[in-house]
């Protein structure tokens, strides 16, 4: 049977798929290319043989196994319309909560504070998260925050004698650099595979909203999600996330989130409990040969700006439609997707320097990023009865609009509808999602949410 290639992400629903195809280092590899391999005692026929063992002995204690227990919603099959008369409401499409168990990996990035970074899809909807250290200790973890759009989550454990992994500057990676992947595939326990950087800046794969992947041929399999991709110095260069392969199997095409992108996101989670995503305020596309010819450009790479939103960060900085952004903070930008991913991982109110081609000349603009007001905050994290509602800030009305309400969700059962505008709680004026979250954080009992529906004010009671 002919098998077609498909893209899959590893998840707790038995979709955890991160694969690093084992690539053996040649015995002719010069020892001087990797300081961690120096002074090795192993010899064969009088010749010193290279080994990754010294480096791995140092870094593998920083990689943990993650097991999760939780529940997720499963939609029941609809009863045909012809029979709904006999079944009444039972004939409607209803959701059921079903338990699940999942496996993944994580990386300790701060031993003093017990911070562990992993993929969001590994721990999403988990009711209990257990960490297994290399020395066999099992400790329950607390979720500090996550970002579904970039698939990053931060956990914390309370334990002594932890080993953290040093972060590398992933912007310095080159195609051909050696890589080592560490994780716990298929629940077998800690496993190491090796390969090289196959490509950089992979995007438009429809794995995540913000994509700027490192591609590697090191083997990643189910259970490796959230594990470490390291260089030969034992430094973290990426968080393993997804593979491209038939049926979720390894064919030597794996993807990892760059360490710099991860670090930017985790820093925001530590500070705010969530990602305050920066936004530039432009739309555009990647430069190709046709655009380069039409615009008389000397480069076929970069981000062509088609539109600049009024009053946006780009507009205030002086960037115009027709500009081509070729670098950010002095480092090359190859595509619009790369620009979007890098801007999206940098926090709001941060300043960046963008190098732009305009009328054949290079110009540098300093841009202060604004906060992405459309960045979705999980409604369920604000209140359980808002689960299933998609909330968006309405800056003009200084209120919260409910864009969508999922069928059979707690939000729908509470009485919320798409188009409702939340303006207050318990007689207190609420202007945005952050204010709503802060107000409800320590509240219990019955709460009265003031909403506007069809230009009429009313209250919905939740508890």
Per-residue pLDDT of the chain (463 residues; tens, 9 = 90+): 333 333 444 433 333 333 333 333 333 333 334 444 445 455 666 767 788 999 999 999 999 999 999 887 655 555 555 554 444 444 444 556 778 888 999 999 999 999 999 999 999 888 999 999 999 999 999 999 998 889 999 999 999 999 999 999 999 999 999 999 999 887 788 889 999 999 998 877 766 678 889 999 988 877 788 999 999 999 999 999 887 766 656 677 889 999 999 999 999 999 888 888 888 989 888 998 888 888 888 888 899 999 998 889 999 999 999 999 999 999 889 889 889 889 989 988 999 999 999 988 999 999 999 987 654 456 777 888 898 888 877 766 788 989 888 877 888 889 999 899 999 998 889 988 878 888 887 777 889 999 999 888 999 999 8
- How far is residue 388's CA from residue 382's CA, in Å, rounded to a whole number? 12
Domain shared by 343 and 441, yes or no? no
Domain shared by 131 and 170, yes or no? yes
What pTM did the predictor assign?
Answer: 0.69
Q: Which of 305, 336, 371 finishes a domain?
A: 371
Q: Does residue 262 form part of some domain?
A: yes
Q: Does residue 291 form part of some domain?
A: yes
C-beta separation of 258 from 137 below 8 A: no
Q: Does residue 352 form part of some domain?
A: yes
CA triplet 419, 423, 425: central angle to 5 degrees? 120
Domain shared by 11 and 152, yes or no? yes
Domain shared by 297 and 176, yes or no? no
Domain shared by 44 and 64, yes or no? yes
| Structural domains counted in the chain | 3
Domain shared by 260 and 394, yes or no? no
- How far is residue 315's CA from residue 311's CA, in Å, rounded to a whole number? 6
Domain shared by 202 and 89, yes or no? yes
Q: Which of 371, 400, 435 finishes a domain?
A: 371
Q: Does residue 204 form part of some domain?
A: yes
pLDDT at 360: 87
Q: Which two tokens stand for residue 343?
A: 């801007």
Residue 32: which CATH number?
2.40.10.120
Q: Is the Cα torsion angle 7, 12, 17, 20 positive or negative in sign?
A: positive
Domain shared by 252 and 301, yes or no? no
Q: Does residue 411 form part of some domain?
A: yes
Taking each helix axis from N to C terminus, what angle separates 336-345 and 259-272, rounded to the nearest 10 degrees?
30
Q: Provide the residue range defining the domain that includes 52.
A: 1-268
Q: Does residue 273 form part of some domain?
A: no
Q: Which of 316, 342, 371 finishes a domain?
A: 371
Helix (H) or strand (E) holding 317: helix 313-317
Domain shared by 264 and 143, yes or no? yes
Domain shared by 285 and 386, yes or no? no
CA triplet 180, 181, 183: central angle to 5 degrees? 150
Residue 314: which CATH number?
2.30.42.10
Q: Does residue 337 form part of some domain?
A: yes
pLDDT at 23: 35
Domain shared by 362 and 385, yes or no? no
**Comparing C-alpha atoms, which of 258, 261, 288 is closest to residue 275?**
261
Task: Label residues 192-210 b or e (16+ Cβ within 10 Å = b).
Answer: bbbbbbbebbbbeeebbeb
Catalytic residues: 121, 151, 225
Hunting for tokens 């791995």 — which residue is that? 56
Domain shared by 412 and 362, yes or no? no
Task: Label residues 368-386 b or e (16+ Cβ within 10 Å = b).
Answer: ebbbbeebebebbebbebb
């Amino acid at each position: 049977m002919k098998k077609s290639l498909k893209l899959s992400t590893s998840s707790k629903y038995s979709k955890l798929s991160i694969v690093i195809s084992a690539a053996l280092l040649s015995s002719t590899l010069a020892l001087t290319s990797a300081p961690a391999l120096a002074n090795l005692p192993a010899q064969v026929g009088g010749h010193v043989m290279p080994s990754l063992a010294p480096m791995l002995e140092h870094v593998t204690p920083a990689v943990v196994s993650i097991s999760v227990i939780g529940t997720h919603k499963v939609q029941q099959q609809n009863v045909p319309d012809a029979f709904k008369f006999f079944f009444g409401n039972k004939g409607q499409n209803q959701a059921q909560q079903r338990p699940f168990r999942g496996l993944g990996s994580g990386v300790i990035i701060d031993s003093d504070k017990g911070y562990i970074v992993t993929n969001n899809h590994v721990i999403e909807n988990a009711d209990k998260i257990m960490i297994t250290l290399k020395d066999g200790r099992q400790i329950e973890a607390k979720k500090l925050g996550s970002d579904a759009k970039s698939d990053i989550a931060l956990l914390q454990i309370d334990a002594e004698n932890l080993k953290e992994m040093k972060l590398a500057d992933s912007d310095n990676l080159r195609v051909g650099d050696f890589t080592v992947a560490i994780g716990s595939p298929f629940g077998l326990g800690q496993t190491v595979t090796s390969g090289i950087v196959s490509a950089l800046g992979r995007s438009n794969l429809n794995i995540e909203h913000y994509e700027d992947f490192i591609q590697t041929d090191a083997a990643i399999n189910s259970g490796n999600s959230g594990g470490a991709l390291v260089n030969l110095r034992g430094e973290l260069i990426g968080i393993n996330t997804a593979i491209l392969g038939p049926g979720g199997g390894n064919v030597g095409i794996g993807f990892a989130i760059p360490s710099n992108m991860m670090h930017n996101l985790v820093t925001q989670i530590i500070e705010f409990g969530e990602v305050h995503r920066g936004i530039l305020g432009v739309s555009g596309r990647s430069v190709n040969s046709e655009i380069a010819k039409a615009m008389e450009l000397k480069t076929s790479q970069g981000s062509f700006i088609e539109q600049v939103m009024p009053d946006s960060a780009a507009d205030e900085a002086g960037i115009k439609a027709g500009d081509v952004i070729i670098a950010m903070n002095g480092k090359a930008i190859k595509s619009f997707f790369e620009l979007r991913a890098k801007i999206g991982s940098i926090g709001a109110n941060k300043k960046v320097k963008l190098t732009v081609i305009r009328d054949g000349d290079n110009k540098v603009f300093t841009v202060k990023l604004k906060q992405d007001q459309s960045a979705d905050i999980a409604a369920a994290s604000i209140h359980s009865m808002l689960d299933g509602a998609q909330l968006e800030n309405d800056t003009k009305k200084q209120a919260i609009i409910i864009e969508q309400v999922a069928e059979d969700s707690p939000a729908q059962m509470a009485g919320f509808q798409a188009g409702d505008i939340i303006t207050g709680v318990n007689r207190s004026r609420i202007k945005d999602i952050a204010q709503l979250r802060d107000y409800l954080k320590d509240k219990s009992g019955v709460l009265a949410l003031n909403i506007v529906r069809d230009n009429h004010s009313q209250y919905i009671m939740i508890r």
